[in-house]
Amino acid sequence: MSMFAILLGLSAGEAVAAPTPDGHPPALPAQYTAIGGTTAAPYTVHMDSTAKKFAKYVPGTGGTTFTVLDCVKKLKYTNAGPLPIPGLPPGACTTSVLTAYDFSCPSMYAPTWPPTAEDTYAGFRSKLNFKNKTHCPVGNVSLCDQYTFQLYPKSKDPNYEVLDFYVDSDTQVDVSGTIKVGKVVYTHSLKGGVDQSFLQ
């Protein structure tokens, strides 16, 4: 995915107003599907915050590995091995009970939803700041609001730990984003609604 944005021409000194009052991207919808990971190793996440269900699917040469969480029933269904080794063939589906020490679901220790590890904004939504309006890097949307955050602004490498996210300027729906760690770029895209069959 090419994330080179073509910036709109703004005259010198022209102010760009943030589309949200706090300058951060909008909250994620209650139901959505996100595609994350890298171009070479993508994964798909389905979430329903109302029903407190979460599913992650990782395609591989040996088949698709999945993990489904039901945070109401405190159950985890997965065919992944005991260690998350990329490319490992999926095994038989197993069911386990989520314990009080498992932070996969919201709890008094990790009260947010979606689970922090799978947050589309990588847990940095409150730190992302509105940058400008620009052409969207993907999809059919022509104009996006760009939000950025640099984890280490004083780093010698300006491309290390840089987050860029794009939101449809008209609908305020998330379009895509990148998390760049050195030369590795993790891409994210979002679409509204969830096919409930993925969460059953």
Q: What pLDDT, in 10s, does the model give residues 118-166?
A: 667 777 888 899 999 999 988 777 899 999 998 888 777 777 788 999 9
Q: What pLDDT, in 10s, does the model give residues 25-74?
A: 888 788 888 888 888 888 899 999 888 999 999 988 888 999 999 999 99
168: Cα separation from own chain's centroid: 16
Instruction: Write out 41-96 in H/E/C secondary structure.
Output: CEEEEEEECCCCEEEEEECCCCCCEEEEEECCCCEEEECCCCCCCCCCCCCCCEEE
Q: What are the extents of the domains in the chain?
A: 31-199
Burial of 65 (0-12, 13-18, 19+ CB in 10 A): buried
Residue 88 corresponds to which amino acid?
L
Q: How far apart are CA 35 and CA 146, in angstroms?
A: 19
Q: How far apart are CA 182 and CA 190, in angstroms?
A: 24
Rg, C-alpha atoms of the chain:
18
Predicted pLDDT of residue 148: 92
Q: How far apart are CA 66 and CA 166, in angstroms?
A: 28
State the average pLDDT for the chain. Answer: 79
Residue that wins the pLDDT comparison between 16 and 196: 196
Class of domain 31-199: mainly beta
The pair of three-digit structure tokens given for residue 93, joined into one six-digit string: 């589906």
- The residues facing 180 across adjacent strands are 162, 185
The pair of three-digit structure tokens given for residue 108, joined into one six-digit string: 């008094």
The pair of three-digit structure tokens given for residue 127, joined into one six-digit string: 């730190």
- Closest of 130, 122, 132, 136 to residue 176, by C-alpha: 136
190 pLDDT more than 80: no
Alpha-carbon separation of residue 41 from 5, 97, 175 (angstroms) = 23, 29, 19
Residue 32 corresponds to which amino acid?
Y
